[in-house]
Structure 1
């Protein structure tokens, strides 16, 4: 029968009766009478009588040989933390060698005590200076203030523009190549492929209702201020045809800070066309709706497709642009509000998600 008494208490009583001169049987009988079912077994009483007879005086549990005590203590936690701060790319094995504890102990310290994990750096367009961050905050605040005066009118007036390369062949992403297979069949394989050399520069102007105008740069032509200025004139004519009455409300043009857009000839033409250019900070694709909303969806659609020439590529891109529902374009522009707000909240740092 299992003894329900605490081990130290049980041994203390047995030793007391042993020193009183009781025999093992007498000790057992007295403890049985006093503790009832909680009393230790006769075999246990007899064994401890024998132990005390051989000279043992302590009733505490003796340390047992075997697994050593844990290497995790305050000192090792501090040492691991300091080692990581010296080199944030250090491996667990290197930390274990430095601190002279097991890799398992290092993992426990890192995750359970320091609450750290190892992650890859996030790619961002540029490491912004304090001045650039402040410029992003000011532009976001100015655009928000203009929007909040009359949100409906603001988006009715707004047209955004940007350029991007589209390729004759752009390899599909890893996620796109996922396919089902049987457990006993080998995984599929494919060769690593780079985007093709054949490509076309797309310029697209769009608003909350859809695409207003597109332009595909001809081969051998470079996009410059002199090339871009006539596009702004063509845009005005396209607005008259596709967005009747929009010119009279006044056009707000949102474009990035590319040298082409900021050239003297382009800005002069924008003023002549009556466009009001919204402020947009440099190095800020996260605040450009084409970059964070429009182009990613379009390029995902084009990935994995192969086009024999420019004409086939241009036809596919044009069809995709026309097939997108109005809500796609409306959501893209209205998400600017959250982006501007988040940019201000983050102190000018890049906005990774809405």
Structure 2
């Protein structure tokens, strides 16, 4: 059995871990409320004194900072931060400026100024200078329309020269970019007629490369089979070929011309004017009739069964897919295919198809899915003489237009076909029947493609414009809220006949309103009581110099409150963090425990004073408050200071303001601070201490 009732010393270190001490505890340490030996009690006392002095020094330093705090100090502090930010921004701008200056010389070299100057000077001389000289030689024959034509030509060249200075652009992220489209327009803004052929002397198959290559390859059958190659409209070479050429196409991927004869495929290399060895088999029963290229794929039409093959250019014309006649010729009586062409920009394949009445039509297919997009209307004259051929070419500068050249034994004609919306709708109905899309959809997409659109994806949008909210709706919602602040969104929607989304936008974005729950207050104060609160607060601020006066250390405050054994957590206290895919946690609803105790707690600004427990079965009366509670409180105060000048602050509970309590305070020379009626928020215990303890 231990000799001392407190047992062994239970001292703990600064981290709260118990230290093994074999000495007997002889007293309760006032600093840690544990039984300790005399040596550890002195150590604790010394540690508390050191920490108290350190805390006091920190408080004095903080007071000094606050006493000397001025607007100018804040301005100087933030001005220093602004200056640092300015230096960082200037450095970034200087670095970006140096990078763009270095980039400028590289980007500007992409523009061929010499070529541009030569083209424009030639345009001025050919289309303005020389015609004007010819007119001046015959002054009596000059007409106003001649002058207007020359003026229009001059304005066009002036605009071209002006545009050259806008071809270099600065992007939003600070990069220089040359507008290639502007340069292309400048270089080819004026097109001249270089060669003219009458249709009666029209050459055979032909194909051309894009503008930046400027190649043209033509097959001529007289006086002998040959390929006429034209480069830059002036270098003409002739290459003999052994067979009659049915069709020619240009491959942008391999940069060669592909030539289809009756049984063989040839490649013509424009860089060295060389014709390759033939690919094919002369014993084949199928004739190579027409061909077209798209990326690395070659599409070929074979006669007489009208089968279309897709072959790979990278693997010596290896076959990838094939389509039979019924797959690509949809109407009864379709005889054969005149030619095949591809609009690579829109990824559309076109076939010219000869019908049973010897008239022609143009059908369009999607290259990706090889699905018919358009079944054209018939054109040409229905005659008994069989048409010889019908070739088609997409017009790159005119969306939805195709140049068609067809001939018979007696005549040759050229027409431009435009893909009309009504014809598209009719052909879609013929092809798809009841599953065809609606008329509005056909007309809408036809208009989009006519404006130059070449894809089906949605365009980026900024969302619904806020201007759709009518001002009269905003004012109507404002008036409803002013009349009834408790009105619900559903009631607003029903009253004004507007949607829920529009109601939310008006309330939150335009009126800046949010719905909150009213805060519960213990009492509804009268105007006189509200004024008393204001006067009391002003009086306290003046008496204690806004909290700077040392008189605040003379105030002791306290109050009584019930403390339950168990008080359930509030909704906010029960909140926990969970992942987005985790289930929400649950907790059992619990009520306050039945067991409880009443405590009176008093404290001062400098330190805690005391806690007094009310015995079970008793109530707070004037006798208990004056003779027991206040007596213990004042005795605890007297241990540190005298009672003269002491101020006590408590609320207006009956036990606090009766005569017995007032007389006891007078005999102890303790002054009572006033307290406005129904103001628990002005008592430190009710508004600060008790909520934190509970």
The residue aligned with 2:75 is: none
* Deviation, structure 1 residue 202: 0.9
Give the C-alpha shift of residue 178 in structure 1. 4.0
User: Quick check: 1:204–1:215 contact (8 Å CA) kept in 2?
Assistant: yes
CA contact (8 A) 2:523 2:678 kept: yes
Residues 44, 73 of structure 1: alpha-carbon distance in 2 compared, 3 angstrom cutoff: farther
- In the alignment, what sits opposite 2:679? 284
**1:314 alignment counterpart:** none
Pairs within 5 Å for 1:310-349: none
Written as runs of structure 1 = structure 2, the 5 A alignment for 1:128-207 is: 128-148=525-545, 151-179=548-576, 185-207=582-604
Looking at structure 2, the residues matched to 131 and 294 of structure 1 have their Cα atoms a distance apart, in angstroms, of 29
User: Paired residue for 2:656?
Assistant: 261
2:632: which partner in 1? 234
Structure showing the higher helix proportion among its residues: 1
For residues 282-340 of structure 1, the C-alpha deviation after alignment (integer angstroms, 9 at most, x for no partner) is: 211221111222212211xxxxxxxxxxxxxxxxxxxxxxxxxxxxxxxxxxxxxxxxx
Report if the CA contact (8 A) 2:492-2:503 is conserved.
yes
Length-normalised TM-score, structure 2? 0.33
Answer yes or no: is the 8 Å Cα contact 2:565–2:593 preserved in 1.
yes
CA distance in 2 between counterparts of 1:129 and 1:87 reads 24
Q: Give the equivalent residue in structure 2 for 1:124.
A: 521
Residues 146 and 33 (structure 1 numbering): CA distance in 2 closer, same or farther, change over 3 Å? Answer: closer
> What is the match of residue 274 of structure 1?
669
The question of whether the paired residues in 1 share the 8 Å contact of 2:643 and 2:670 is answered with: no
Q: CA 1:112–1:181 in structure 2 vs 1: closer, same or farther (change >3 Å)? A: closer
User: Which TM-score applies when normalising by structure 1?
Assistant: 0.62
- Contact 2:489 2:500 survives alignment (8 Å): yes
- Classify the secondary structure of the residue corresponding to 1:221: coil
**Matching of residues 62-101 of structure 1 within 5 Å:** 72-101=469-498
SS, match of residue 246 in structure 1 = coil
User: How large is the Cα RMSD of the aligned pairs?
Assistant: 3.5
The whole-number CA distance in structure 1 between the counterparts of 2:538 and 2:556 is: 19
Higher RCO, 1 or 2 (CA under 8 Å, sep at least 6)? 1
Cα distance between partner residues in 1 of 2:676 and 2:597: 26
Structure (1/2) with the larger strand percentage: 2
TM-fit CA distance, 1:83: 1.5
Structure 2 residue ranges without an equivalent (≥5): 1-151, 161-184, 190-396, 402-415, 421-463
Whether the aligned pair in 1 keeps the contact of 2:568 and 2:590 (CA below 8 Å) is yes
1:246 corresponding residue in structure 2: 642
Is the 1:200–1:217 contact (alpha carbons within 8 Å) kept by the matching residues of 2? yes
Deviation for aligned residue 1:207 = 0.7
Contact between 1:163 and 1:202, CA under 8 Å: does it hold in 2? Answer: yes
Equivalent pair of 1:233/1:273 in contact (CA under 8 Å): no
Quick one: structure 1 residues 185 and 151, their matched pair in 2 at CA, closer, same or farther if it must change by over 3 Å? closer
Q: 5+ unaligned residues in a row in structure 1: which ranges? A: 1-28, 51-66, 300-354
Structure 1 residue 112: deviation in Å?
A: 2.3
Does the 8 Å contact 2:552/2:605 carry over to 1? yes
Relative to structure 1, the CA distance from residue 80 to residue 298 in structure 2 (aligned partners, 3 Å threshold; closer, same or farther) is same
- CA separation in 1, counterparts of 2:570 and 2:543? 39
The alignment partner of 1:247 has SS state of coil
CA contact (8 A) 2:541 2:547 kept: no
Closer/same/farther in 2, CA of residues 84 and 201 from structure 1, 3 Å limit: same
SS in 1 for 2:480: helix
The offset of 1:150, in angstroms, is: 8.9
> Deviation of residue 170 (structure 1)?
1.0
Structure-2 change in CA distance of 1:177 and 1:144 (3 Å): same
Give the CA deviation at 1:158. 1.0
What pairs with 1:7-46 in structure 2 (closer than 5 Å)? Answer: 42=398
Q: Which residue of structure 1 lines up, in the alignment, with residue 448 of structure 2?
A: none
1:33 and 1:296 mapped to 2: Cα distance?
Answer: 83
The answer (yes or no) to whether the contact 1:81–1:114 under 8 Å persists in 2 is yes
For the residues of structure 1 that align with 2:535 and 2:487, how far apart are their CA atoms?
39
SS of match in other structure, 1:205: strand
How many angstroms does 1:166 deviate by? 0.6
2:610 to 187, 192, 213: 213
Q: Secondary structure at the match of 1:166?
A: strand
Give distance in 1, aligned partners of 2:528 and 2:512: 33
Q: Distance in 2 between matches of 1:259 and 1:190?
A: 41
Query: How far 1:276 moved relative to its partner?
Result: 0.6
Check conservation: 2:643, 2:668, Cα contact below 8 A: no
